[in-house]
């Protein structure tokens, strides 16, 4: 990039496997991104709580600072109000201080000191009329192929070595006794689950791993509850296919989560609802589905082809379509944004 900088990175999650009883979709891509930024010559300091140490007991050796250290760039994974959790008083039962800390960081760095700031709105929760979208010295990124007007596209990255070492032929030959699986939490996915997963679950072996609390409407579905990160990933290794379920706000912008590369690189074929924006860029045409009946038909065909050349070709095609998510490509995007911000300097 030509501008090695000290980045103050704010995220609410884990760099290691973390703990079971918490959502954090960044576990498969955050640490590779951190290492890639360090390899570029940047210095990183993490500005939220060291949850790996305090909750999981993992001492990973990264620098955390609960104060307000000198930094060149503020990089935020955007946090939003969650009633009963981060909107309550500090110290109250169940309180998490991610939102309060984010407010402190923005007030001090972006507002007070005009430090160049990147907001990565990974959950598409930053309001369209948020003043930060129009603030000089602040760049908003979304993990979407078609981000909001004025926002830059910064996709969830997959490590280059994970892509480069993938062997579709070997993955296709693995034993996959489970036909359909899903790894992920319920949040805003009921409609997609109703349309694509639940109807198919009546006809094939299946399992769902994640936090699904309101499941009475699907008594025939096997919900296994939350599992540790590595156990959840292991489900993909014994499963023939998954369905890429997205909240509507993701689907409309072509924002695919890390689940696509977690599944593909474990050899689990991703069925993609055709209604998702840019679905045809994410999976080959035979894996596009339009309803539950389509899912069942496709799963039966895939089961008949399991382990053979068609299976391997589909996996190879899926791996190739992960290229836009390649870590080195996304780091280049982020470095370009950082370079532009740093060259512009503080806005006074």
CATH number of the domain enclosing 194: 3.40.50.2000
Does 171 lie in the same domain as 44? no
Q: Which residues, in sequence order, are bridge partners of residue 198?
A: none
Q: What is the mean pLDDT of residues 237-264?
A: 96
Does 336 lie in the same domain as 316? no
Is 164 part of a structural domain of the chain? yes
Give residue 137's pLDDT band: very low, low, confident or very high (50, 70, 90). Answer: very high
Q: Is the pLDDT of residue 348 over 60?
A: no
Does 333 lie in the same domain as 254? no
Q: Nearest 5°: phi and psi at 95?
A: -75, 135
**What CA–CA distance (Å, rounded) separates 13 from 98?**
10
**pLDDT tens string 51-76:** 999 999 999 999 999 999 999 999 99
Q: Is the pLDDT of residue 344 over 90?
A: no
| Structural domain range at position 260 | 160-325
pLDDT of residue 1: 46
Does 43 lie in the same domain as 92? yes
Q: What is the mean pLDDT of residues 331-343?
A: 93
Q: What is the mean pLDDT of residues 11-29?
A: 79
Does 306 lie in the same domain as 257? yes
Give residue 232's pLDDT band: very low, low, confident or very high (50, 70, 90). Answer: confident
Please give the angle made by the CA atoms of 171, 174 and 176, to the nearest 5 degrees. 115
Q: Decide if 295 contacts 201 (C-beta within 8 A).
A: no
Q: Decide if 77 contacts 12 (C-beta within 8 A).
A: yes
Does 169 lie in the same domain as 151? no
Q: Is the pLDDT of residue 118 over 50?
A: yes
pTM above 0.85, yes or no: yes
Is 315 part of a structural domain of the chain? yes
Is 107 part of a structural domain of the chain? yes
Q: What is the mean pLDDT of residues 196-216?
A: 96
CATH code assigned at 122 = 3.40.50
Q: Decide if 215 contacts 231 (C-beta within 8 A).
A: no
Is 1 part of a structural domain of the chain? no
Does 179 lie in the same domain as 49? no
For the chain, the C-alpha Rg in angstroms (whole number) is 21
Does 285 lie in the same domain as 171? yes
pLDDT of residue 347: 53
Beta 73-77 vs 117-120: how paired, if at all?
A: parallel
Does 181 lie in the same domain as 97? no
pLDDT of residue 233: 85
Does 171 lie in the same domain as 275? yes
Is 148 part of a structural domain of the chain? yes
Give residue 253's pLDDT band: very low, low, confident or very high (50, 70, 90). Answer: very high
Q: Is the pLDDT of residue 88 over 90?
A: yes
Does 258 lie in the same domain as 146? no
Question: How many domains is the chain built from?
Answer: 2
pLDDT of residue 229: 78
Does 245 lie in the same domain as 184? yes
């Amino acid at each position: 990039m030509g501008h090695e900088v000290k980045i103050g990175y704010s995220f609410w999650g884990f760099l290691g496997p973390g703990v079971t009883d918490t959502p954090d979709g960044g576990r498969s891509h955050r640490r590779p991104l951190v290492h890639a930024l360090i390899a570029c010559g940047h210095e990183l300091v993490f500005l939220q709580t060291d949850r790996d140490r305090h909750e999981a007991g993992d001492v990973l050796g990264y620098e955390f600072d609960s104060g307000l250290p000198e930094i060149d760039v503020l990089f935020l994974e955007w946090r939003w109000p969650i009633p009963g959790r981060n909107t309550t008083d500090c110290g109250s039962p169940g309180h998490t201080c991610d939102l309060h800390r984010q407010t402190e960081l923005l007030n001090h760095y972006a507002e007070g000191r005009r430090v160049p700031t990147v907001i990565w709105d990974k959950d598409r929760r930053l309001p369209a009329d948020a003043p930060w979208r129009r603030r000089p010295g602040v760049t908003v990124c979304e993990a979407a192929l078609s981000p909001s007007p004025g926002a830059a596209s910064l996709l969830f990255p997959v490590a280059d070595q994970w892509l480069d070492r993938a062997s579709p032929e070997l993955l296709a030959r693995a034993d996959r006794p489970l036909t359909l699986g899903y790894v992920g939490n319920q949040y805003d996915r009921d409609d997609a689950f109703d349309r694509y997963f639940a109807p198919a679950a009546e006809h094939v072996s299946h399992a769902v791993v994640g936090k699904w609390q309101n499941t009475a409407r699907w008594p025939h579905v096997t919900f296994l509850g939350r599992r540790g990160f590595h156990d959840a990933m292991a489900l993909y290794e014994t499963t023939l296919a998954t369905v890429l379920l997205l909240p509507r706000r993701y689907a409309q912008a072509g924002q695919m989560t890390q689940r696509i590369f977690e599944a593909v690189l474990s050899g689990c074929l991703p069925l993609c609802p055709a209604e998702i924006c840019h679905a045809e860029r994410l999976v080959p045409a035979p894996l596009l589905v339009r309803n539950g009946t389509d899912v069942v038909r496709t799963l039966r065909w895939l089961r008949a082809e399991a382990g053979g050349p068609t299976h391997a070709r589909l996996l190879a095609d899926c791996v190739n379509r992960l290229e836009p998510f390649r870590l080195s490509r996304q780091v280049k995007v982020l470095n370009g944004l950082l370079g532009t911000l740093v060259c512009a300097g503080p806005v006074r």
